[in-house]
Structures are given as C-alpha cells and as structure tokens.
Amino acid sequence: QVQLVESGGGLVQAGGSLRLSCAASGRTFSNYGMGWFRQAPGKEREFVAGINLSGRITNSADSVKGRFTISRDNAKNTVYLQMSNLKPEDTAVYYCAQSTGTIATRQGQYAYWGQGTQVTVSS
C-alpha cells in the first residue's frame, strides 16, 4: 500500500522561502515519477512540478518557473519542492503525487496522492 506524507508547509511572508518534503513508502520509489500539485481556495487543483525516475529531468508550471525547484533523493524515498520568492498567489494546499510511470503533468497520470500540506503566503 503506497503512502505519501507531505511536510514543511506553513505561513511565510511574501518573498520568503519554504521547502516541502514528501516521504513515500509502499513500492519501489525509484521506479516512478513524482510530482507536486496545488489547490487554492475556490480553484481547481493544478500541476506545479514533476520529476522523472532518476531526477535528471524536471518540468514545472510557467507560474513557478525560476522560483520553485523539484528534486528527489531515491536513497531516502523522498521528493522535495524548494519554493523561493513566494507570492500571495502561491497560497494553496500542496499535494505530492506518484505517477503511474515516469515524469507527468496531468493528474490522470498520477496513481497515488498525499493528504496535502497548507502553504500560506502573507503580503
């Protein structure tokens, strides 16, 4: 049974930084792409960033390019999202997800989801 547990969310001022972590268990972590999504109040969940099996290939949404970085440590079964220069519009619940294969951008390509962690950016 796959479990994904996010941590690292919180309240931060605009311009600040946070690092989210997602610890995975239940199947061979290095065999699957990972991703981060977010859902703001009243909005649909959206793709933030994705990473392939080895961690050498990543992609991210235009809204976070240059500010957010996704990475993974296969020895620790953990994926990270380093967020810098945070803006109030980044306020959302952030979800970690494990894909059905390699790097992916669509929600339907992800099989397992964490419970989410709240990120709030004050102006």
pLDDT, residue 78, reads: 98
Closest-CA residue to 92 (of 64, 59, 60, 58): 64
User: What does the buried/exposed string (b/e) look like for 66-105 if buried means 16 or more CB atoms within 10 Å of the residue's CB?
Assistant: eebbbebeeeebbbbbebeebeeebbbbbbbbbbeebbbb
85: region left, alpha or beta (phi > 0 left; psi from -120 to 50 alpha): left
Please state, in angstroms and as integers, the Cα–Cα distance from residue 19 to each residue in 26, 67, 81, following that order: 23, 12, 6
Closest-CA residue to 51 (of 118, 116, 101): 101
pLDDT, residue 66, reads: 97
Q: How far apart are CA 104 and CA 19, in angstroms?
A: 21
pLDDT values of the chain reduced to their tens digit, one per residue, 123 residues: 999 999 999 999 999 999 999 999 999 999 999 999 999 999 999 999 999 999 999 999 999 999 999 999 999 999 999 999 999 999 999 999 999 999 999 999 999 999 999 999 999
